[in-house]
């Protein structure tokens, strides 16, 4: 059974750092959501054949799914149930943001079999929320958590961000401590990425250029592709070293609080790991519906076109809404590399037996060169039929993992 992802490409307003495809409802034409739902219904009708036995889990993400009006949310849930067989005992998640969550919406979701909620808190500091253009306050996040509990959600994830403009270690620690005080079942911690084309990126680069003009002879370093660092005091975005310290501190703190660090950015109380995402990381099949949705079934991957009107009109005219790259049959080599890159982000690592069963080769033979190169560096470990990455390197693992491509 594949897992099912449904993408809701709408948010109340865009956050300043966001490079995802989503429409700000403040500026969108009124008919856009109905066009979206019309297109989605046709896509569900076409795609239900891909999950004849039902779906292993559901994840409704975005965007901000809870920015839909009550009646649109109800229609969405009804459509999902009409086309796909959901297991109400499986993990069925909805994402949402503070300020868009009401008792009526949560009750509708609970009634429709949603049993996990992922809330975009990011920080409990109002100044920092404002600095990145989030549309909600810390108090609204607290209220949303309270409402989730009173409507019966006993599996909650809180998304938190580090590396925000002017965030120091103390404000980061305060946010993590406050999050822990609500006893969430799951926490996802993400470092801020400066995405080209976003308002935050433009502001940051302008600030950087102004400084460059003002301070003659100061060396401007670029530590990473998207995070140039200026070697003077008063940087307004934490540099890579401080971000790494924030991450390391949180890893230790969450370990003390008995969370398992089961994936680079994800932490769970025992038994509350996100099964839907574990499926991606373990290389299982998934179906992604809606504009921008990505699917991968039997080693064929495709991505839907992002623009809502084009998505809807393609479906309306009986065409596939797949983007210009079209469906791509992944080579064995690509599938193996992906299994390594995603699997090594997991604490459990890559299962040697399963790799052999799925690809007909032993990963120790295929990747002999890479493994040899790092043999004496304490980076990879073979344990109980798994290949694992030493957790010490998880924050900087990307460059190492690229060697499997």
Contact positions vs ligand SF4 (CB under 6 A): 11, 14-15, 18, 20, 22, 62-64, 97, 120
> Taking the complex as a whole, how short is the minimal distance between the CB of residue 68 and ligand SF4, in angstroms?
13
Q: Which is nearer to ligand SF4, 14 or 105 (CB)?
A: 14
Q: Which is nearer to ligand SF4, 22 or 155 (CB)?
A: 22
C-alpha distances in angstroms, 111 versus 88, 150, 298? 10, 14, 33
> Taking the complex as a whole, how short is the minimal distance between the CB of residue 18 and ligand SF4, in angstroms?
3
Phi, psi of 33 (to 5 degrees): -70, -40
According to DSSP, the β-strands at 228-230 and 10-11 are: unpaired
> Taking the complex as a whole, how short is the minimal distance between the CB of residue 326 and ligand SF4, in angstroms?
26
Task: Decide: 17 and 132 in contact? Cβ < 8 Å.
Answer: yes
> Taking the complex as a whole, how short is the minimal distance between the CB of residue 65 and ligand SF4, in angstroms?
10
User: How far is Cα 404 from Cα 383, in angstroms, rounded to an integer?
Assistant: 20
> Taking the complex as a whole, how short is the minimal distance between the CB of residue 13 and ligand SF4, in angstroms?
7
Spatial strand order in the sheet of 380-383: 350-351, 386-389, 380-383
DSSP secondary structure string for all residues of 175-201:
HHHHHHHT--SEEEEEE----TTSHHH
> Taking the complex as a whole, how short is the minimal distance between the CB of residue 95 and ligand SF4, in angstroms?
8
Q: Establish whether the linkage from the previous residue to 63 is cis, with ω within 30° of 0.
A: yes
Q: Which is nearer to ligand SF4, 12 or 242 (CB)?
A: 12
Q: Which is nearer to ligand SF4, 2 or 62 (CB)?
A: 62
Residues in the chain: 405
Which two three-digit tokens encode residue 85? 């067989």
Q: Which is nearer to ligand SF4, 94 or 401 (CB)?
A: 94
Q: Which is nearer to ligand SF4, 24 or 229 (CB)?
A: 24
């Amino acid at each position: 059974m594949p897992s099912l992802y449904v993408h809701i490409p709408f948010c109340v307003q865009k956050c300043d750092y966001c490079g995802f495809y989503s429409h700000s409802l403040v500026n969108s034409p009124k008919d856009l959501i109905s066009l979206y739902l019309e297109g989605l219904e046709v896509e569900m009708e076409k795609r239900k054949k891909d999950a004849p036995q039902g779906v292993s889990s559901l994840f409704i993400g975005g965007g901000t799914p809870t920015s839909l009006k009550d009646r649109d949310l109800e229609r969405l849930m009804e459509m999902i149930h009409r086309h796909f067989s959901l297991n109400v005992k499986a993990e069925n998640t909805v994402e949402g943001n503070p300020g868009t969550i009401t008792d009526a919406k949560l009750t509708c979701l609970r009634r429709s079999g949603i049993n996990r909620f992922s809330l975009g808190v990011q920080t409990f500091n109002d100044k920092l929320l404002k600095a990145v253009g989030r549309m909600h306050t810390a108090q609204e996040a607290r209220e949303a958590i309270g409402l989730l509990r009173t409507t019966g959600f006993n599996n909650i994830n809180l998304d938190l961000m580090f590396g925000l403009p002017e965030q120091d270690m103390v404000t980061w620690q305060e946010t993590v401590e406050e999050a822990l005080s609500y006893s969430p079942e799951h926490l996802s911690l993400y470092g801020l990425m400066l995405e080209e084309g976003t308002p935050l990126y433009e502001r940051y680069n302008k600030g950087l250029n102004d400084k460059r003009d003002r301070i003659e002879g100061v060396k401007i370093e670029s530590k990473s592709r998207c995070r140039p660092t200026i070697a003077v005091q008063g940087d307004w975005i934490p540099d890579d070293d401080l971000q790494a310290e924030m991450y390391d501190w949180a890893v230790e703190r969450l370990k003390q609080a008995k969370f398992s660090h089961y994936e680079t950015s994800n932490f769970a109380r025992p038994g509350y790991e996100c099964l839907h995402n574990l499926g991606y990381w373990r290389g299982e099949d998934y179906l992604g519906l809606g504009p921008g949705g990505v699917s991968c079934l039997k080693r064929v991957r495709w991505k839907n076109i992002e623009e809502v009107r084009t998505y809807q009109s393609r479906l309306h005219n009986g065409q596939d809404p797949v983007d210009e790259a079209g469906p791509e049959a992944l080579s064995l080599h690509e599938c193996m590399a992906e299994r390594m890159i995603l699997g090594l982000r997991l604490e459990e690592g890559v299962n040697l037996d399963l790799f052999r069963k799925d690809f007909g080769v032993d990963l120790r033979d295929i990747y002999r060169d890479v493994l040899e190169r790092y043999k004496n560096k304490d980076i990879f470990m073979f344990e109980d039929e798994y290949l694992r990455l030493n957790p010490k390197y998880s924050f900087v693992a990307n460059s190492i993992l690229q060697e499997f491509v």
